[in-house]
Amino acid sequence: MKLQFLQTPIYIPIRYVPHFDGERTFEVTEDIEVTLSDGYVLTIEKGFITDLASVPKWAWSIFSPIDKGFLGDLIHDKLWVDKVGQIQHFNNSFYEARLFADKERTLWRKKLAPKKKFKNWLTHAVIRLIGGFFYSKQISIPN
């Protein structure tokens, strides 16, 4: 599947995988190529595992972890998993790579789930506020 920047997909090749840890684990069932806002083509490979949006279970009644904008969450998850590649793409700028991933998520969520304004705003604010702690823990910053 190939998607241009902010193209609304007809379907998203993903399936629920109940045997993994966690209550909402999903697997991409075919390669997805997505052109991002800077022209970068992100490939989300068949077999990629995600929880889509790391919303705590106690908050599910307020913010469903799955809605029409979940492609933005999927893109964000893939960009975060590919931290090293993204940091290199942004000339070894840890800050720019993380900022791009967070902004890209919001662009896609606003396009695909425009009625979720508060959720889109709040989740972006939380990701920007505390997400860096999670982003930086898992890699060594390249020199």
Token pair in block for residue 101: 């991933």
Read off the pLDDT of residues 12-57 as tens digits, 9 standing for 90 and up: 999 988 876 666 788 999 999 999 999 999 999 999 998 876 666 6
Token pair in block for residue 115: 């009625």
For 61, list phi and psi in degrees, rounded to 5: -70, -25
Token pair in block for residue 26: 């999903």
- How many whole angstroms separate alpha carbon 121 and alpha carbon 34? 23
Contact 33, 9 (CB under 8 A): no
Task: Note the pLDDT of residue 135.
Answer: 64
Q: DSSP letter for 64, please.
A: -
CA nearest to 110, candidates 4, 37, 6, 10: 6
For 26, list phi and psi in degrees, rounded to 5: -125, 155
Read off the pLDDT of residues 107-119 as tens digits, 9 standing for 90 and up: 999 999 999 998 8
Read off the pLDDT of residues 61-81 as tens digits, 9 standing for 90 and up: 666 667 899 899 999 999 988
- How many whole angstroms separate alpha carbon 72 and alpha carbon 65? 12
CA nearest to 48, candidates 84, 79, 86: 79
pTM confidence score? 0.84
